[in-house]
Structure 1
C-alpha cells in the first residue's frame, strides 16, 4: 500500500528540480553567449553594412540637390555639417573592432571606402560617424553600432538555452528518479531469482517507479508467504501421514487379520484419503476456476442436498452474483462438516444480502470457538484440538475456506450469538462475506471478526 508523500517533501522536490532547471538555463545561456555571441555580432554588422550602404548611396545623390538640413527633416537621418567630428576621450577595443568590421562591409558595397570615426556614446548604444561625399561642404552621417546584448540575451539564445536546460534536467531526472531506483530494484530482483528473500526496497523516484517498487515488495512478501506455507505443508504431510501408514504397515505384517482389524485398516485408509483431499483442496484454492454468475439460493440448495433435512435447515434469500461455484461449494461444505463434527445440530445455512456484500452463514447450536482462537483457526495446519489428527484431520479445513473466500475478494468472519443484534438461528456462526461488485481476481484481505 502506497503511503502519501508529505506536502513539504513534494514542495522541496519541486523546488529542487525547478532550481536545477533554472540553473541549467543560466549555464546554457552563458555557454551560448560565449560560443555564438561573436557570430551574432558579425551577422548584425553585415546586416547594418547592407542597410547603411543603401542609405549612403541615396543620401550622397540627394546632397547634390538638397541641403543636409532638409534631408534630416525628410528622412530622419542624423546628418551633421562638420569638418571633423569630435572623438571620444576613451574608446574600447570592442567598439573599435566593430567599427573596423563595419568599414570593411561598407568598402565592399560602395564604390569608395568611407572614413569611420567613433562618436560619443548616446545612452546605452555605441555610435559612429561616417563621412559622406558632398559637392559643397563636409557632411557626416551618424549611425548606431550593432551590439550583442548581455542581458537579456537574444530571443534565439533564450529559446535554444531553454531547450538545452530542459534536456539536461530531463537527463538528470531520468538518472536520479528512474535509473537509480530501477537499478536497486534490479539488484533485489536478482536476489529473488537466486532464491533469497531481499528486504523491502524503498519506494523512491518517479511515481511510476514507486508503484512498480510497491508491487514488487508485495510480490516478495507473497512469495515468502508461499514458501513458508509450502514448507509447513510438506512438514504437515509428513506428520499427518506417518501415523496411519505406520498402523497399516503393522497390521498388514500380521499373519491373519480379523474383521475388527480390517475395519481399523479401512478407517486408516479413509483418514489418508481425507487428508489427501484436504491438501489438494488447499493447494488448488479455486484459482483456475472461472467466475460464473448464478442464482446463489438455488446453487446453495444443491450444495447441501446431500445432508439430512432433519439435521440441516435452509434460510435463503434470492441473490445473483459471480462466484467460483466449485471452490465456493467446497468451502461451504467444509464449514457444514466442521459444524456437524465439532458443533451441535441442527445446522442452519443462511444466505442474505447485507448492503454491498452477500453473506453465507453456517450456524450451529454448540459453544464454538473462543474469540482468542479465531485468528489461529485460520492458519494452515493449526489444530485447536490435537486429538483431531487421529481422525484424519490435518488442520486445513478453515484454512481452505479462508483461502477460497480470499480469492473471491471477501473475508471469513466468526460470530458468537449474544442477542445484541436480534434473534439468531444458532449460538455460533462462521460466515463467508463476499462483495457483490468484486471480480474476485487477485484481491487479498485480512480476515475480520465481529
Structure 2
C-alpha cells in the first residue's frame, strides 16, 4: 500500500508536458553521461597521479635522508628547523609508543602507498596523524640495515588535487550549455505541438483557428499542413451547412404555412381544425429545433442584457395562453450574455415543462445571483427525469422510455440548451423537485474574463405578477 502511495506521489511530482518530460530525460542522460565520464577519467588518471605523487614523496624522503646523512651532527637540528620553516617538512624519530592514525582506506591512498612502499621498502609505514599533528606521514631509515625509524611529514596540500575545482567548474559549465541546447531543441518540437493543441481546442469550440505555420522539422510541418487542410475542409463544410439550413428553412416552412392556411379555411369542424393546426405547429417547432441544433454553437457576441426583463417578456405569451407561470426575479439583473441563444434556451425549457407537465400545472421561473454565478431556473410539476437518466437526456435525439407513447418532440430540446449554456461557459443542471417535478437550472458564471459582471438592482420579486 505504501509503495502504491509512494508511486502516486512520485508521478504527481513528475512534469506532465512533453517539453519538460523530454528536457528532464535529456538532463538525466547528460548528468549520467558526465558522471560516467568522470569515473572513467578518474579510473585511468588515478594510477598516473599516484605514480607522480609517489615519486615526489620518494624524492623528498631520499633528499631528507641524504641531507641528514651528509650533514654534520651539530648542524642537524639547524637543518631540521630550516626544512620545517621553508618546506613544511617535519622530521621526528619514531618510537614504539607513538600515537598514530592510519590513512583513509581509499583507492587513491592504496595506489600511492603501494608505489611508495615499492620504492622505499616494505618496512615503510604511513599515517594521517602523528601525536597531535595532521599531515601525510612516511617512515624511513637512514640506513636500510638500521632499525631506527624516522617520521617525515609532508603537508597535505602537496597531495591534494589542485585542479579538482576547475574540473568541476568546467564540467558544470559544459553540462549547463548542453542543457540549454537540449531545451532549445525540445522547444522546437513542443511549441508547434502547443500551437496545434490550441488550434484543436478552437476547432472543438466551433470556431475556425488561425493558419498554422508549416515550418520546422518535416514531421511537424506535415502535421501542420494536414491540420490546416482539415480546418479548411471544416470551414467549407460549415458554409455548405449554413446554405443547406437556409434552404431547408424556406423549402419546408413555406409548405407548412400554406397547409395551415388551407386547414383553417377548409370548413372542417372546429375541434378537428384545432387538432390539425396543433400538429402543423408541432412540425414547425420540430423543424425549428433541427435548424437550431444544426447551426452549432451560437456565434452572437456577448451583450449586457437585463435577464429579469427578458424572463418577463418570455413569460407573457404563455400567460396569455392561460398557462400558469410564476416569476421569482429581481427588478433588474444585467449580465453579459448572448441574448437570442439564451432566450431560445429558456423557451426550450418552458416548452418541455408545458409538454410533459401539462398546461394546467404551474411553472416557476426563478432568477438569482450567487457569489460566482447567475442562476436561471425553470421548475415544473411533471413526471421529472430519473436520476440515472439525466445525463443521457442531454444527448440529442434522446427521450425517456415512458415518453415514447407521446410522439411530440424530437429529443433535441435539452441538447440545444446544453450547447447554448456551454457557449456561455456555464452548466445545465437537471435536478428533482421536492413534491415531484423537474428543476432545470442554468448556471451562468460571473468570471470577468468570460461572462462579465452582473449587477442586481433591487431585491423584490414579482411572484405571480401579471
TM-score norm. by structure 1 comes to 0.47
TM-score norm. by structure 2 comes to 0.46
